[in-house]
A and B are shown apart, each in its own frame.
Chain A
Amino acid sequence: MNAVVPMPESRKAKPVAIKDDAMNLQKELINRNYRELAEARQAGRKVSATFVPGNLNELLMCFDFARSLPETNALQNGMRKKSGKFIMDAERDGHSEDVCTYVKADLGMMMGGEIGPTGDPMPRPDVLLLSYTGCFTFMKWFELIRHKYDIPTLMLHVPYQSQGKIDPNMRQYVVKQLKETIIPGLEKISGVKFDIDRLRQYMKESAKAEEDLVSVLQSAKKRPSPIDGYFGAVYYIGPIFTAFRGTPEATHYYSTLRAEIEQRIREGKGPVTPEGDMGEEKYRLIVEGPPNWTSFRDFWKMFYDEGAVVVSSTYSKVGGLYDFGFRHDPDNPLESLADYCLGCYTNLNLPSRIDMICKYIEEYEADGLLINSVKSCNSFSAGQLLILREVEKRTGKPAAFIETDLVDPRYFSAANVKNRLESYFQMVKQKRTTGIGANVKPVFPIAQV
C-alpha cells in the first residue's frame, strides 16, 4: 500500500495587511468580545445572541449579558475561510442549498464543536433575542437554533417601513413589546433587575460614538476621500453595530478614528488599503449590498488596483442609519430604541432605499452605483435590479451589477467579478463627462428619525 505523502507547506509568505491604529483597535475590540464570550461561563455571566440590524446592545448590557452576534460570527468565519465547510456540513444535515448561507455557516459552526472564529469556544446562549429588523430569515434562523438546542427565544417584531415613514402605531407596538415582553423576559433570564438610568447612560455613550461615526463616514465627501466607505467602513462599523455600542471603549474608538481620519484629510491622503495608502483616486462609487466575506481582500483589491474608492455604501448603514439624523436618545430611551430598530436600512422600503442612493450619488459626487447582489440575502437582493434602473434613470450615472455570496466560497467567481468591474470602470470613464444627474428628487422623503 502506498504511503500518503503529505503536501509540502506553502513557502509563500502570507501577505500582511497594513492597518492604521483605529483598524488595530477595532480588531482588538472584536477579539476581546470573543474572549469575553469564551470566559462568560467561568465569570458567571449569562450569554445573549441577537442580530446586527436593530440590535438592542444598550439594553442587553443593562442585564450584564455577554453578547454574541451570529451574523458577525458567520462573516468572521467567512473571512477566515472556515465557512465553506460549515455550510456543507449544514447541507449534509438536511438544509437546502437554496437558503441563506449565514444560517448554515452558523449551524455548521455549532455542529463542529462550537468553536468560534478566533478559536475560542462559543458558549451556547442563554437567550436568543429575535429582533428581526428587515429580515424574515432571522426569524427562522433563531427558530432553528431554538429547535436544536432548546434555548429560550424572545421575539421583538419590528414592522416594515412600507410607506417610507414610521407610523406612531409601529413605534407604540415596538415600545410595548419592549415593556411587556423583552424587558421582563431579559430580567427573568438574567436575574438582573432593569434599571432605566443605566440604559440612559449607555445611550448617552452611543450618541457620542454615533456622532463620530457619521463624521467619519461623511468625510468621504472630501476629494480625495480619506476613507473607503465600504471595504474600510466594514471595519469602522464593527464596534458600533455589534457588542460595543454604548460602551466607553466604543466612544474612545470612534474619537480615535475620527482624529485619525481628520489627520488624513489634513495630509490630503486617500484611504488605507491592506497594501498601504491608496494611490490616485480615479473613480468614486456608491455600493449597494453586503460584501463578499470569503474573498474580501481579493474583492477589495479589484477596486483599489484601479483607483476606485467607495465613497458611500448602504451596507455600512445595515446596523443603524445615522447619517440622516437619528441618534440614540437617553431622554426617550424606549421610543428611541424602537426608532432605531425601525430605521435600519433593510427595514426601509425600496423607494426609500432608492432615494438614499440617489442622495449619496449627489452628495458624495459619485461617478456611479455598483450593486453587489448576494445570493444569501433576499432582504437586500430582491428588487436590486429595479434599484439599478431607477438610480440610472434619475441620476444619469452608470450602474452595474455583480453577483456573489456572503460566506459561501462556491459563489465567488473572481474572474467574472473582475471582468465586470473592469468593464464598469471603462463605462464610468466614458460617461464621466456627462455631469451629475440633475433634478434628483426623492420618490418618498427618507424618514427623519
Chain B
Amino acid sequence: MTTATPVQRIVERCERLFEDLDFTAVKEWKAAVPGRKAIGYMPVYVPREIVHAAGFLPVGILGGGDNLEVIQGDAYYQSYICRIPRSTLELGLTGRLDCLDGMMFPSICDVIRNLSGMWQIMFPDKYVKYFDVPQNYVDNVGGNFYVHEMQALREDLGKMRGKPITDEELNASIRVYNDNRAAVSELYAYRAQKPWQAPTSEVYLLLRAGMVLPPEEHTKLIREYLAATDKEPRARRDNARVVMTGSFCEQPPLALIKSVEMSGCYVVDDDFMLVTRWLLKEVPADGNPLEELSKAFLHHSAATAAKYDATRAEKGVFLVKQVHTRGAEGVVFAAPSFCDPALLERPMLQDVLAKHKIPYTAFKYAENTGQMAPIREQAGTFADSIKLWSDVASAARPPEGAPTVARSAEVSQ
C-alpha cells in the first residue's frame, strides 16, 4: 500500500519521465495509435503549435543530463565545446532517439546550428529542420521571413502526414498551447508567491514532463499539482528570493537546482525550458495562425541571449522585470561552461543589475557537474549576504500572502 501524497505521486511521475533517457512515454504515445509521429526539438524555442497541428508529438530534447555516460558523443567534440551537443549526439547514436521521426534545431548559437548539419549527415533518414527565427522585429520584414519559415515547416510536416495542415488545425493547437502557457504561468506565479509550497526542483520536473507529454496532458498535470501542493503543509524558510538565469539551453543537473535551494535560496523565476513560456501573451486563435504566431514572437516573447536586443535600452529589461515582478532579492547567473551567448551576455546584464542595485552572483556548470559543494557554498554565501546586507532585500521581500504581480507586468521603479 502506498502512502505517497498526491504531490509526491505527481513529482515521482515527473521524475520517472525526467530520468527515462529511452523516451518510453514518447514510444507509448506513438504505439497507442498507429501512424503517429514525434518530432524532437532542441531547447529555447520552436513553434510547437505547428507540430501539434499535424497531429505529431513535439518532444523536447535537452541533452543527456548527468545520468548519461557520453562515450561516442565525446569523439565528435573538442574539449572546449559545451556538453549538450555531445550528449544529444550520444542519445542519437545509441538509438535512444529512434522514436523520433525528425529533429528541429532552433537558432540558439553556432554550436547548435552546426549540430543541425551533423544530424543531416549522421541521420540521413530523419527529417532535419534548422529553424531560423528573425532578429529583425518589423512585421513586414522579419515577420514576413518568419511566416515563410513557419509555412515551410507546415508544408514539410503536412507532407509527412500525407495531407496539408489547415488553419483550423493550427488555431486549435494555438488554443491548446495558450492553455498550456496559462497553466505554466499560474505555476510560476504560485511559486513566486509561495516558493516553499512549490520548490523549484519540483517545478523544474513538472516543466520537464512537458517536454515528453502531449500538451493537453501536461496542462492537466500542472493544475493537479497546483491544487495538490496548496493543500500540503510545508515549512517556510527564511530563504533569499533569487532569479536564476543563463540556463536557457544546456540544463543544470537537478542536484544543482536542489543545492541552490538547500543553500538558502528560493528560486522565484528562471529561464529553464523557455519554450514553455516564450510567448508572453495569449496568441489570438481566430485569425491567420502563422501571422499571429509571428506577431507574438516579434513583439511579445521572452528575452534570452540567443535573441537580439534592438536597442541598448532593452538590454536587461526582461531580467529586471523578472526580479521586480517576482519580488526577487538577487540574481544567480548559472550558465553552462563554454556557452558563448550566455557568457557574453552576462557582463551586460550584470551592469544593468548593478545600476538597479540588484545583487548577483555567477557560476558555471555542465549538465553532468557532480561536485555541488562549491556551488552550494557560493549560493549560500550569496543568500546570507542578501539577508544580512542587501538594501533591496527588505524592500523587495513581499509580505506573506501578498499577491505576486503577473509576469508580463511593467517594472515599477
Interface residues of A (CB under 8 A from B): 93-96, 98-100, 103, 130, 132, 135-137, 139-141, 143-144, 146-147, 150, 153, 155, 157, 159-160, 162-163, 167, 169-170, 172-173, 176-177, 180-181, 349-351, 353-354, 373, 375, 377-379, 381-386, 390, 403, 443
Q: A137-B344, A176-B144 are in contact. Are A155 and B310 (CB under 8 A)?
A: yes
Bound state CA distance, A169 and B145, in angstroms? 6
Name the A residues within 8 Å of B136 (CB-CB). 155, 157, 173, 177, 181
Which of A93, A350, A403 is within 8 Å of B78, CB to CB?
A: A403
Residue in A closest to B81 when the chains form the complex, CB atoms: A382
Q: Is B121 within 8 A of A98, CB to CB?
A: no
Interface class of chain B by DSSP: helix
Give chain A residues whose Cβ lies under 8 Å from the Cβ of B312.
Answer: 146-147, 150, 153
Q: B339, A98: Cβ atoms under 8 Å? A: yes
Decide if A382 touches B114 in the complex (CB within 8 Å). Answer: yes
Min C-beta distance of A222 to chain B, whole Å: 33
Residues of A within 8 A of B120 (CB): 349-351, 443
A136 lies within 8 A of B110 (CB): yes
- Tell me if A98 and B343 are in contact (CB < 8 A): yes
Other than the known A137-B340, A173-B134, A378-B111, what 15 A-B pairs have Cβ atoms closer than 8 Å?
A100-B344, A140-B341, A146-B312, A147-B351, A169-B149, A173-B141, A173-B145, A176-B140, A180-B140, A349-B120, A351-B117, A378-B110, A382-B110, A383-B118, A443-B120
Given the known A-B contacts A157-B134, A381-B78, are A147 and B113 also in contact in the complex, defined by CB atoms under 8 Å? no
The stretch of B191-199, B301-309, B381-389 in contact with A is: B301-309
Which listed residue, A173, A349, A381, touches B144 by the CB 8 Å rule? A173
Contacts of A146 in B (CB 8 A): 312
Select from chain A the residue with minimum beta-carbon distance to B310. A155
Nearest first, the 7 A-B pairs at minimum CB distance are: A350-B117, A162-B130, A140-B344, A173-B145, A157-B135, A378-B110, A383-B114
How far is A132 from B132 in the complex, measured between Cα atoms in Å? 14
List 13 A–B pairs whose Cβ atoms lie within 8 Å, in order of A's numbering. Answer: A93-B347, A100-B340, A144-B344, A146-B312, A157-B135, A162-B117, A173-B145, A177-B136, A180-B138, A353-B117, A382-B110, A383-B117, A386-B122
Chain B minimum-CB-distance residue to A444 = B120
- Interface code B123-146, partner A: CB below 8 Å = 1, 0 otherwise? 000000110101110101110110
Once the chains are docked, how many angstroms separate the CA of A129 from the CA of B392?
38
A98 touches B337 (CB 8 A): yes
**Which residue of the partner chain B has the closest CB to A94?**
B347
| Max chain B Cβ within 10 angstroms of own Cβ: one of A140, A169, A177, A354 | A140
**Cα distance A383–B136 in the bound complex, in angstroms:** 28
Q: Is B345 within 8 A of A140, CB to CB? A: yes
B128 and chain A: residue at smallest CB distance: A162
Distance from A371 Cβ to chain B, minimum over Cβ atoms (Å) = 10
Residues of A within 8 A of B378 (CB): none
Complex CA distance for A439 and B399, rounded to whole angstroms: 73
Task: Report if B88 contacts A (CB, 8 A).
Answer: no
Contact status B141-A181, CB under 8 Å: yes
For the complex, give the distance between the alpha carbons of A136 and B109 in Å: 6
B109 near A386 (CB under 8 angstroms)? no
Asked whether A160 and B113 contact (CB < 8 A) given A139-B308, A147-B315, the answer is yes
Interface centre among A155, A180, A403 (most CB of B within 10 A): A155
A172 to B78, CA, bound (A): 37
| Chain A neighbourhood of B315, CB < 8 A | 143, 147
Q: Given the complex, which residues of B lie within 8 Å of A443, measured CB to CB?
A: 120-121
Docked CA distance A99–B337 (Å): 9
A167→B343 CA distance, assembly (Å): 32
Cα-based distance from A373 to B338 in the complex (angstroms):
15
Contact A375-B80, Cβ < 8 Å, known A96-B346, A157-B134, A385-B75: yes
CA gap between A172 and B148 in the complex, in Å: 11
| B344 x A157 contact (CB < 8 A) | no
Which residues 318-373 in B have Cβ within 8 Å of A in the complex?
Answer: 337-341, 343-348, 350-351, 364
In angstroms, how far is the closest chain B Cβ from the Cβ of A132? 8
Chain A residues near B140 (CB-CB < 8 A):
176, 180
Which chain A residue has the least Cβ–Cβ distance from B74?
A385
Number of contact residues on B: which range applies?
35 or more
Residues of A within 8 A of B107 (CB): 136, 160
- Measured between beta carbons, the chain A residues less than 8 angstroms from B110 are 135-137, 377-379, 382
**Also in contact, A378 and B310, with CB within 8 A (given A144-B347, A147-B351):** no
Tell me which of B121, B134, B149, B308 contacts A350 (CB under 8 A).
B121
Q: How far is the CA of A386 from the CA of B149 in the complex (A)?
A: 28
In contact, B115 and A382 (Cβ under 8 angstroms): yes
Instruction: List the A residue with the shortest CB-CB distance to B105.
Output: A162
State the CA gap A349–B119 with chains docked (Å): 11
Within the complex, the shortest CB–CB distance from A376 to chain B, in Å, comes to 9
Q: Contacts A382-B115, A383-B117; is A169 near B148 (CB within 8 Å)?
A: yes
Knowing A96-B346, A143-B348, A144-B347 are in contact, say whether A382-B111 is a contact too (CB < 8 A).
Answer: yes
- Of chain B, the residue at the smallest CB distance from A376 is B80
Tell me if B340 and A385 are in contact (CB < 8 A): no
Rounded to whole Å, the gap between the CB of A134 and the closest CB of chain B is 8
Q: How far is the CA of A180 from the CA of B145 in the complex (A)?
A: 14
How far is B119's CA from A350's CA once the two chains are assembled, in angstroms? 9
Within 8 Å CB of B142, what residues of A?
Answer: 157, 173
**Assembly CA distance A141 to B339 (angstroms):** 14
Contact A382/B350 with A140-B344, A143-B315, A181-B136 known, Cβ cut-off 8 Å:
no
- Given the known inter-chain contacts A169-B145, A169-B148, please indicate yes or no for A99 contacting B114, CB distance below 8 A: no
Interface members, chain B 252-301 (any A CB < 8 Å) = none
Task: Determine whether B64 belongs to the interface, using a CB cutoff of 8 Å to chain A.
Answer: no
CA distance A132 to B107 in the complex (A): 13
Nearest Cβ in chain B — how far from A91, in angstroms? 11
Select from chain B the residue with minimum beta-carbon distance to A168: B148
Contact B344 A350 (CB under 8 A): no
User: Would B80 and A98 count as touching, CB distance under 8 A?
Assistant: yes
A378 near B109 with CB under 8 A, answer yes
- Say whether B135 contacts A155, CB under 8 Å: yes
Contact status B340-A136, CB under 8 Å: yes
Which residue of B77, B135, B343 is within 8 Å of A382 (Cβ)? B77
| Bound CA span A140–B121, Å | 29
Instruction: Tell yes or no: B85 within 8 A of A by CB.
Output: yes
Q: Are B81 and A155 in contact (CB under 8 A)?
A: no
CB distance from B340 to the nearest CB of A (A): 5
Residue B116 at the A interface, CB < 8 A?
A: yes
Q: Which residue of B lies closest to A180 (CB)?
A: B141
CA distance A384 to B118 in the complex (A): 10
* Whole-angstrom distance between the Cβ of B231 and the nearest chain A Cβ: 44
Residues of B within 8 A of A162 (CB): 113, 116-117, 129-130, 132
Q: Which residue of B lies closest to A98 (CB)?
A: B338
A130 to B309, CA, bound (A): 12
Residues of chain B lying within 8 A (CB to CB) of residue A351 = 117, 120-121
